[in-house]
Amino acid sequence: MSVIYDRVALIGLGLIAGSMAHAMREAGLAREITGYARSAATRETAREIGLCDMVCDSAAEAVAGADLVVLAVPVGVMGTVAAEIAPHLAAGATVTDVGSVKQAVIAAVQPHIPAGVHFVPGHPLAGTEHSGPRSGFASLFRNRWWLLTPLPDSDAGAVDRLGRLITAMGAKMDRMEPAHHDLVLAVTSHAPHLIAYTMVGVADHLSRVADEEVIQYSAAGFRDFTRIAASDPTMWRDVFLHNKEATLDILGRFTEELFMLQRAIRMGDGPQLYDYFTRTRAIRRGIIEAGQDTEAPDFGRSPDAKGQDI
C-alpha cells in the first residue's frame, strides 16, 4: 500500500492509538508517526517498545507539521487537549478523534479548530478490555466498523483521505449523523457495558455467595461480564457522563423488558420466555452472519482473540 499521510500525530498512547501505530507501520501508510501521552511513564514505555518514530514530551511538539492528528484521549478531556494543540496545528491538517461519544466531543473540540484545519470526528468500533501502550496490535481493526460523523462543513477531500487510511488498516468505514451514532452506541455498547458493571457489582455485594465461589465457579456468561467490566474505568466514566440522554433512554427500555421477563418467570409463562429468547437468538445469528464474530465459543478471550466492539 502507498503512503496516505506524511506525518501522523497520536495524542494519547493507549490501545486504539497503539493499534493504529502498528497497523499504519505494518501497511506503510505513514512516513512518520509521532506520539504524546500526558503520563511520563506511558511516554517512557512507548519509547521503550518503539511504538512511534518519535515520542514527544508535549502535545504541541507532537502535532507540529502533522497532516493527521488523532485525539485518542478520554472523552472528558477532548476539549482541553484540542485547546492545547490548536495554536500548533498545521494549515490543511485533519484532526480526528476515536471517542465513543460524538455529540459531546464535537461540542468540546470544534470551537478550538482553527480556520484551514479540517475536523472529522470518528469512532472505531473495536477494542479489548486491555489498555496502555503495550496493549495495541495491528489487526485490532480488521473487519471492524469505523464510523465517521463528518460535520456539515467538513472538507470532502479530508473525509475521503481519512476513509482511505481507515480501510487500509483493515476496517470497514461508514458515515453516520452524530446524534444517531450516540443512540446506536447506547444500544450496542454503552448500556451493555453498564449492565455488565452492574452484574459484577451485584455478585460483589451478594453476601450469600463467597468471593471465591464467584471467581472459581464463573460460568461463561459471568466470565464475559467480567471481561467487559474490566475495561478502562476513566473511559467508561466519561462515556456515560457525556452520552446521558441516549444511555438513560436505552436503560429505561431495558428496565421495562426486565420487568416483563420477571413477570413471565414469576407466572411460569414458558411460551413467552421461549418466544422472547428465540427472537433475541436471531440477533446473535445476525452478528455472526455479518462477520462480527464467530460461532466458536471463546469465553476465555485469549490474548490473541480479536477485539470486542466498543
CATH 3.40.50.720 fits 5-176, yes or no: yes
Rounded to 5°, the CA angle 171-174-180 comes to 130
pLDDT score for 298: 52
- In sequence order, the 6+-apart residues with CB closer than 8 A to the CB of 130 are 15
Residue 169: the pLDDT is: 97
Q: DSSP string of 176-237?
A: --HHHHHHHHIIIIIHHHHHHHHHHHHHHH-TTS-HHHHHHT--HHHHHHHHHHTS-HHHHH
- Size (the chain), residues: 310
User: CATH 3.40.50.720 in the chain, residues?
Assistant: 5-176
**Rounded to an integer, what distance in angstroms lies between the CA atom of residue 100 and that of residue 104?**
10
Residue 77 phi, psi dihedral angles, 5° rounding:
-115, 10
Question: Where, residue-wise, is CATH 1.10.3660.10 in the chain?
Answer: 180-289
Mutual orientation of helices 233-242 and 244-266 as an angle, nearest 10°? 100
pLDDT score, position 87:
97
Confidence at residue 239, expressed as pLDDT on a 0 to 100 scale: 84
Each residue's pLDDT tens digit in the chain (310 positions)? 699 999 999 999 999 999 999 999 999 999 999 999 999 999 999 999 999 999 999 999 999 999 999 999 999 999 999 999 999 999 999 999 999 999 999 999 999 999 999 999 999 998 777 889 999 999 999 999 999 999 999 999 999 999 999 999 999 999 999 999 999 998 888 888 788 778 777 776 665 555 666 556 555 667 677 777 777 788 878 888 888 888 888 888 888 988 899 999 999 999 998 888 888 788 777 777 777 666 655 544 444 444 445 5
DSSP count for the chain of H helices, then E strands? 13, 9
CATH of 180-289, one of 3.30.360.10, 1.20.1290.10, 1.10.3660.10, 1.20.120.420: 1.10.3660.10
Nearest of 197, 200, 190, 308 to residue 241 by alpha carbon: 190
At 195, list the grid cell.
449492565
